[in-house]
């Protein structure tokens, strides 16, 4: 019978680690597809941070001084056949945020070398327990340096458990590289290309943020990065954004934007706008000058897409939650996806009665989760 881990306050990192595999020798540059790498690096840090199996959990990689670590493309596992990994340079800790928690209930997180919830101390690199506050739990996973900074861990696992009724354990996978000589991902040569597009929003305030990320960075990492006052994971391409102009419908506003000098490759474009707009993350491929088209920005709760959060939005969400005909089946596929994201104000990955309740409270001027949005 599997040993049960008690919910006790953990004050120190548990010791006694298991052995870990050793990576193969660095592959030759010719083993990679074009463009082939020409530079290498001894960068160390967490890499290949996977997407947690809960929409309520985000993971951000931090340096030892709590600054956000910068993402780079590197062959951290010395395996040309699977390409390059996203490594967070000099990261020594992980900031794990759980929303939708039950206030006052206890939550515990493990960083372990086991692929299932650990049953013995020997596989645990870090473990800590805390109580939820106002529906949110933040864990700073910071193993002692001597436990991992000198070793490669190609397979690490994060688990979150709780004594809260109905809580399903959360799992995510990642890895750790202790440095050495690894190929850097080529960033392309020449002057690069121009990437351009247009956003449509409900006001003419020139405050929309446009950022490019490496295509290998997870959406959850980007969402966590966008919450920072100064996002640190984005690539260093400055956006050229024109002043917003009135849309032809007389209600909305258009803003043209572009990036210059972008090498061919796969990226993620992140668009964030203050005023309780839903962030957009779009996978893009750059091959020469690239026109992206236009993107509608949606307000949280505005499922009717009229620029307002009203009782009829909550009514449509109720119909959707109950499996009835609703506005959620209208519009393009992108519209339908955006409408779902706009409705998910509690951020659980689905539309629940609590989402409806929060939209109703906001529409009536009452306290709600809308205060959590920029």
CATH number at residue 205: 2.60.40
What's the CA gap between 252 and 244, in Å, rounded?
A: 10
Q: What is the pLDDT of residues 324-367, one digit of tens each?
A: 999 999 999 999 999 999 999 988 888 889 999 999 999 999 99
User: Which is it for the CA torsion 90, 184, 284, 33, positive or negative?
Assistant: negative
**Whether 159 and 291 share a structural domain:** no
Of all residues in the chain, the percent with pLDDT exceeding 90 is 47
HSE, side-chain direction, 13 A CA sphere, residue 61: 27
Is the pLDDT at 146 greater than 80? The verdict is no
HSE, side-chain direction, 13 A CA sphere, residue 98: 32
**Whether 212 and 329 share a structural domain:** no
pLDDT of residue 342: 95
Average pLDDT over residues 148-168: 87
Q: Give a yes or no: residue 17 inside a domain.
A: no
98-102, 144-148, 296-300 — which is least confidently predicted?
A: 144-148
Q: Give a yes or no: residue 136 inside a domain.
A: yes
Q: Give a yes or no: residue 4 inside a domain.
A: no
For residue 11, name the pLDDT band (cuts at 50, 70, 90).
Answer: very low
**Whether 125 and 198 share a structural domain:** no
Is the pLDDT at 112 greater than 80? The verdict is yes
Between residues 38 and 8, which one has the greater pLDDT? Answer: 38
Among 131, 159, 183, residue at a domain's last position: 183
- Considering the chain, what is the average pLDDT of its residues? 86
**Whether 277 and 199 share a structural domain:** yes
Report yes or no: 72 and 95 within 8 Å, Cβ to Cβ. Answer: no
**Whether 104 and 178 share a structural domain:** yes
Average pLDDT over residues 105-120: 86
For residue 3, name the pLDDT band (cuts at 50, 70, 90).
Answer: very low
Q: Tell me which residue of 207, 206, 216, 268 sits closest to 237, measured CA to CA.
A: 268
**Whether 282 and 230 share a structural domain:** yes
Among 239, 270, 296, residue at a domain's last position: 296
Is the pLDDT at 7 greater than 60? The verdict is no
What's the CA gap between 68 and 61, in Å, rounded?
A: 6
HSE, side-chain direction, 13 A CA sphere, residue 313: 30
pLDDT of residue 1: 34
Distance of CA 159 to the CA centre of its chain: 17
What's the CA gap between 28 and 349, in Å, rounded?
A: 43
Between residues 122 and 202, which one has the greater pLDDT? Answer: 202
> Per the structure, how many domains does the chain have?
3
**Whether 168 and 222 share a structural domain:** no
Q: Which two tokens stand for residue 367?
A: 């306290």
For residue 32, name the pLDDT band (cuts at 50, 70, 90).
Answer: confident
Between residues 194 and 3, which one has the greater pLDDT? Answer: 194
Report yes or no: 163 and 54 within 8 Å, Cβ to Cβ. Answer: no
**Whether 237 and 124 share a structural domain:** no
Is the pLDDT at 149 greater than 90? The verdict is no
Neighbouring CB atoms inside 10 A of 155's CB total 15
**Whether 224 and 249 share a structural domain:** yes
24-33, 112-121, 186-195, 328-337 — which is least confidently predicted?
A: 186-195
Q: Give a yes or no: residue 329 inside a domain.
A: yes
5-14, 51-60, 299-308, 360-369 — which is least confidently predicted?
A: 5-14
Average pLDDT over residues 48-59: 84
For residue 281, name the pLDDT band (cuts at 50, 70, 90).
Answer: very high
**Whether 319 and 273 share a structural domain:** no
Q: Give a yes or no: residue 113 inside a domain.
A: yes
pLDDT of residue 294: 93
Range of the structural domain that residue 277 is part of:
193-296
Between residues 12 and 352, which one has the greater pLDDT? Answer: 352
Q: Give a yes or no: residue 305 inside a domain.
A: no
Is the pLDDT at 268 greater than 90? The verdict is yes
**Whether 231 and 365 share a structural domain:** no
Neighbouring CB atoms inside 10 A of 35's CB total 14
Between residues 278 and 103, which one has the greater pLDDT? Answer: 278
pLDDT of residue 187: 65
Q: Give a yes or no: residue 18 inside a domain.
A: no
Q: What is the pLDDT of residues 311-327, one digit of tens each?
A: 999 999 999 989 999 99
Q: Give a yes or no: residue 198 inside a domain.
A: yes
**Whether 39 and 70 share a structural domain:** yes
């Amino acid at each position: 019978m599997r040993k049960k881990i008690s919910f006790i306050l953990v004050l120190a990192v548990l010791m006694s680690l298991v052995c870990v595999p050793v990576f193969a020798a660095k592959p030759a540059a010719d083993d990679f597809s074009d463009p082939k790498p020409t530079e290498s690096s001894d960068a160390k840090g967490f890499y290949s941070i996977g997407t947690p199996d809960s929409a309520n959990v985000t993971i951000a990689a931090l340096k030892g001084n709590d600054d956000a670590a910068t993402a780079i493309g590197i062959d951290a596992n010395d395996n040309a056949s699977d390409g390059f990994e996203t490594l967070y340079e000099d990261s020594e800790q992980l900031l794990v945020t759980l929303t939708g928690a039950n206030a006052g209930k206890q939550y515990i997180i493990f960083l372990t070398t086991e692929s299932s919830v650990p049953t013995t101390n020997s596989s645990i690199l870090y473990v800590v327990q805390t109580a939820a506050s106002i529906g949110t739990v933040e864990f700073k996973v910071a193993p002692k340096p001597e436990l991992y900074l000198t070793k490669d861990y190609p397979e690490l696992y994060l688990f979150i458990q709780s004594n809260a009724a109905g809580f399903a354990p959360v799992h995510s996978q990642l890895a750790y590289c202790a440095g050495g000589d690894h190929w850097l991902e080529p960033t392309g040569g020449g002057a690069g290309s121009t990437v351009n597009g247009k956003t449509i929003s409900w006001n003419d305030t020139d405050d929309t943020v446009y950022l490019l990320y490496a295509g290998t960075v997870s959406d959850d990492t980007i969402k966590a990065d966008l919450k920072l006052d100064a996002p640190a994971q984005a690539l260093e391409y400055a956006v050229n954004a024109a002043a917003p102009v009135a849309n032809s419908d007389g209600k909305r506003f258009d803003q043209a934007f572009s990036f210059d000098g972008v090498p061919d490759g796969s990226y993620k474009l992140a668009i964030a706008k203050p005023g309780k707009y839903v962030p957009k993350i779009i996978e893009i491929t750059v091959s020469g000058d690239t026109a992206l088209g236009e993107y509608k920005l949606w307000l949280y709760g505005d499922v009717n897409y009229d620029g307002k959060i009203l009782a009829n939005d909550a009514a449509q969400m109720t119909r959707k939650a109950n499996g009835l005909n609703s506005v959620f089946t209208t519009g393009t596929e992108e519209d339908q996806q955006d409408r779902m994201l706009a409705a998910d104000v509690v951020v659980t990955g689905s539309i629940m009665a609590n989402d409806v309740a929060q939209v109703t409270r906001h529409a009536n001027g009452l306290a709600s989760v809308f205060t959590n949005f920029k």
